[in-house]
Amino acid sequence: MIRAFKTLVLRDTKLAIRVGGGAGMAVFFFLTVIAIVPLGIGPNLKLLGSIAPGMLWVALLLSALLTLDRLFQADFEDGSLDLLMTGALPLELVAAAKALSHWLTTGLPLVVAAPLLGLLLNLETSAFGPLILAMLIGTPALSFLGAIGAALTVSVRRGGLLASLLVIPFYIPVLIFGVGAAGGGGVSAVPGAGGQSLALLGAVALVSLVLGPVAAAAALRANLR
């Protein structure tokens, strides 16, 4: 069962890297959004610095949403999902493997790109560490919560937008605590709020790791039969 899980993660990661519109696209979208923010706001470095954590998080959320529809749809359309279901691996773990590979190919590259883009937005030097930490904790939640939306819309052609609409409300806690942990947003006015935000972000991530695959598997079953 562990072998099946590993081989599925490996295959999905390989496919995401090879197929166009996969891993690279989210990073480039992230880059593009952050690159045009200063053009829209104007070259006010102080203003850019203060909105940087929030902007980075919002752009990261949108980039993660962009690749969600690939999560199950490709396998649904070519019949692979049927065969994955006849394996010994429970569907919950199939969903978990796919969400994990989505994080490896989308969430992780976005976290790696974030500090570079932080420079573009004049992010305070002291905020880099907390921001990266918060993103490392928060991005798995994006993939695992996103799996629910992707599973719900698996049989809808071009369901990516619908999945995004379904998933965004679930992303709001990640956004609020993520920005708070990085020293931005409304929460940061309270002293010591960063640590508390980080703890809550961790809680959201852990809950989503457990609930995401279970809910996604239930949605897949309802869609397939």
Single out the residue of 36, 41, 45, 80 in contact with another protein (rule: CB under 8 A).
Answer: 80
By CB under 8 A, tell whether 15 contacts another protein: yes
Single out the residue of 13, 14, 26, 209 in contact with another protein (rule: CB under 8 A).
Answer: 14
- Per the structure block, which two tokens stand in for 117? 């883009």
Could you tell me which residues come within 8 angstroms of residue 21 by beta carbon, excluding any fewer than 6 positions away?
67, 70
By CB under 8 A, tell whether 32 contacts another protein: no
For residue 43, count CB atoms less than 10 angstroms from its CB and return exposed for 0-12, middle for 13-18, buried for 19 or more.
Answer: exposed
**Smallest distance, Å, CB 52 to another protein?**
37
Q: What is the DSSP string of 62-121?
A: HHHHHTTTHHHHHHHHTTHHHHHHTSSS-HHHHHHHHHHHHIIIIIHHHHHHHHHHHHHT
Single out the residue of 25, 85, 120, 211 in contact with another protein (rule: CB under 8 A).
Answer: 85
**Smallest distance, Å, CB 2 to another protein?**
11
**Smallest distance, Å, CB 78 to another protein?**
6
Residue closer to another protein, measured from CB, 134 or 219: 219
Q: Provide Rg for the chain, Cα atoms.
A: 18
The residues of the shown chain that bind another protein, judged by CB under 8 A, are: 3-4, 7-8, 11, 14-15, 18-19, 74, 77-80, 82-89, 224-225
